[in-house]
Amino acid sequence: MSVLVDTSVWIEYLERNNPLVEEPLDDLLLRGEAVSAGLVLAELRHGCRTQAQVGMMMEALQPLPYVEASRDDWLRAGELAAEGAARGRRLQIGDCLLAALAMRAGCLLFTLDRDFEHIPGVKLYRKRTN
């Protein structure tokens, strides 16, 4: 199954060498199950301070399948944010967009952001315990 990898995971993977994300993301990359999206690319590029960081980010994400956001995805993101607000949860529109993309594409979502736990319908990736 494909797994859309959130910016929070990539930051830990590329900058901090966090073993909690390194092993599962390496596994997803080796199996060809990791997927990216434009919002993740934009957020990562925004955080790059040097050309070396840009190069490292592009080398990691360039070969991945890419999920493109449609008008319907943007509308669904707005719906998810509005539904969250009605339940007293302030959800970021970017998080809602990634959730909408993952749901439409039938992907799990690999994230370190706990806000996704409050978005109904999104299926979160959990590290395999072989």
Q: Does the residue 127 lie in any domain? A: no
Residues 27-42 have pLDDT tens digits of: 999 999 999 999 999 9
Residues 66-116 pLDDT 10s: 999 999 999 999 999 999 999 999 999 999 999 999 999 999 999 999 999
Q: Which is more confidently placed, 115 or 126?
A: 115
Number of neighbouring beta carbons within 10 Å of residue 77: 24
Query: Measured between alpha carbons, how far is 66 from 46 in angstroms, rounded to an integer?
Result: 18
DSSP 70: P
Our count of domains for the chain comes to 1
What CATH number does residue 55 fall under?
Answer: 3.40.50.1010
Residue 128: what pLDDT?
A: 58
Model confidence at 130, in pLDDT bands (50, 70, 90)?
very low
Domain range spanning residue 74?
A: 3-118
Helix ranges, the chain (H): 7-11, 19-31, 38-47, 51-61, 71-86, 93-105
102 vs 36: CA distance, rounded Å: 10
Whether the predicted pLDDT of 129 surpasses 70 = no
